[in-house]
Structure 1
Amino acid sequence: MMKNKTLLISATALMAVAPLAALTSTTQAASTDADTAITKTIMHTSIGYDKNGKSTGNKYYAYRTVNVMTTPVKINGDFYYRIYGSNQYIKATNIDGVTRKITHNTYIYRSSNGRTSYNGRWKLYAGQTVTTYGGSYKFRNGKHYFRVGGPQKQYIKSYNLGPVISVNTNVNTNSSSSQETNSEETTVTVTDKRAALCVEVPDKDAVQPSGKYAKQGDKFTVDRLEKGTRADTGSDGDDDGELAIYHIKGTNYWIYSHSVKAAKEIPTVTYNKTKKSLIQFTKPTDIYNADGTKIDFKGDQVRKQGGSYRVDKLLYIWVPSEKKAELFYHLVSNSVYSNHGEVTFSDGYVKASDVQFDPDSTALTPSNTAAEAQAAAVKK
């Protein structure tokens, strides 16, 4: 575990080793009228729309700049920017993007089978947030990906991302900021004379000293506070009291919490839980097959459990006996404690409404819709 080391680098040196930020839709005032129009970068190829939300057929390509009116307009529930000097509108999400939470550790891709980096990192972790732009793309492998940067190709599999947690478009006309502040970010100030900067150990759940250090008074934006295995505080994060590690945004570096003072608190995540999705059985529960029928345990039933069980899928399944689709979790385990000992099965599902999901573990996103589950059942 890293405490105090004896090497010093300046904040300038740290910035030199940190990667350049990816292209974003940062705005600049248009020279014609700063209160009327601003210049933005289109991050996702966009269709032009009229004031009623009807397509005009015009196309605006990614990574080109465009002058738009400062105040976004809401059309049919979505926000649009009107192009300066015309009656064409572009969806704001294709410019400002939206914030999503990463639900599974993920690589960044430039193609179906080619990986790339994003802000100097080749891998992003569950619990972090990322900005995505526009709708998803379907690659040649049949999977869907969201764009997270540019102009180089940078995509994340949609499967590894949760639903939108915030829209980055600033709808407050009294503010000049184009994006909302991420509530899970804060600024930390180094309080130690020398604070070690750590990096992840490849293919291991750990960090190690990088040989670089920050000095007292240096400030960094951090986007994750973590306990657990990687922070060397035990698998459950309970060891070593309040010790944790911060991830320095836009870099590969981590810094221990005892070496800094944070401007505000951000949620602490436990590394062990961010790698898993967990549920608890809080009452007697039935287990189902993939076709929506109950597994017959000859009258036995899963009982209330003291521990947690891993799940790896969240999906709708048509339940024939109820004539409706229900949301189910897929169990990783093939056995569960029951009222009379233990029951085993080859492939088990439990209703989401019958169990309690651990909010500190990795959230799952439904892989289908209720309508799709019903349609699949009708085809059989």
Structure 2
Amino acid sequence: MKASKKLILVSAAMIMLTVPVLTNNHLSNPVAAASQDNTQTTKLTFYINHNAYVYNHQGKRTKSKIKKGKLLKVTTLKPKAITNPNQSKYFFNNVLAGKYFSLPTVSIKKTDFVNISKNKYIKPGNIGRISPGKYQYADLSTKEIKVITKKTAPVTNQIGMPIAAPIKKGTKLTVDQNYYNNVDGADDYLSNLKYYRIKGTNKWVNLPDIKKLTRIMPNNFVIAPVMVNYVTAGKSAYLYNINGEIVDKSYLLIPDVNVGVDRALYIWNKQTKQADLYYHLTANKKLVWVPALDGTGKTGTTITSNGSYAHQTKDTANTFVKASDVTSQNPVALKVDNTPSEAQADASQATASDYGELQALVDRAGQIKKSTLYRLTEKAQQERYDLAVDNAQKLLTNKNTSIAAVKQASWQIKYDQSKLDGQKVWVKNMNKLTKAEKSWVVSLANCDIHGDLQKEYAGFYKGKIAVVTYNKKTFKSELVRYLKLSDYATDK
């Protein structure tokens, strides 16, 4: 579950800065952009997290071995600064500084090695972290592994809530992701791993319950493709609608601020008669900003002395930024969903047959909102789904729009529906909950009722799950209504 990202808008008249703008070609070719970065020999220290055999230039194992836990100083490598680590199989990054580097490797007999000194090589998987500084290291070459539980293993979601019956000791599992907890820029990648994901599911097992720990594709590492994508605005980043028209010429995105995007597609502009690449902004129902003050104490007129901008609340639902106006922070992860010719065809007015899928999605929304998937999802994601449905309903009422607008509305509902992830907590005995199980139930119930915790909240009242209120006069909790435990917990 992810919190919604806020976007900042600024009056176009106030933009006085000169910010270089990247072209579409530059954006669409991150590898070319990265190749311009300089390389230089850097002193690195490898933390060896497994006993590492040393190999020669022919790939033959020697008698030398580097013990686990040793700090190995290397001065022969020339890491290359890269703008997008997804293009590199082995990379490391300075979490605090936000800089990324590829880890130089050589292939010997189709096996990757890292050159640690003259005629000495080790395998990349033996490197746990790279320093100086807070450098994380990730080997993305391993996509899945086989593991065995060393004791009874609880099955949880990504935040540790039990969602299924525990797995017995000695069970063989295939896992395809690990959940990484990077606390305060800690630099020991392996020791901060928390969970493995059971392949192809949304179920996770705790690493202490597994016999052997191995790095695989991280799920919440800084640049993992499943993360939110961002773009950074240049000096003239307007907001556009699905028809390629500027929404409001009075406002721009503030330069150098990261904003969330969730889709890349071509949009045809009938006036310019061309298709340009755009990024769709992550849906936001309302944007609330504290206005910056100028020298007169008024808001919304100038840039302040400290470089702040006067803000205004804007609804950015169904809005786009032109790719040529921004720098993409993760272009590999977002694939373009259409072609220029498809964009031109979709600029035509929609007919009755074009609304079929959208109508079906709206009709099903009522059923979705009654489901556990929706009820127990974080409120912010519920609101994004609701917004997508509301916008679709308005479009269905109007029915005087382009095929592109209809397709975008359908895409938005399906996208936000896919982010609904509510689940009940698994308990061993519905009639006898543990303290930890009760805590999870209360958490889910409060998420479900959306109560004002100052007025009412979910909790256990006389042994039952209920909504209660606190009487400030009597200093006692009072019952408002009972809730069904089965709405939040299951032993199935």
Range class of TM-score, shorter chain? 0.3 to 0.5
Higher helix share: 2
TM-score normalised to structure 2 length: 0.30
Higher strand share: 1
The structure number with the bigger radius of gyration is: 2
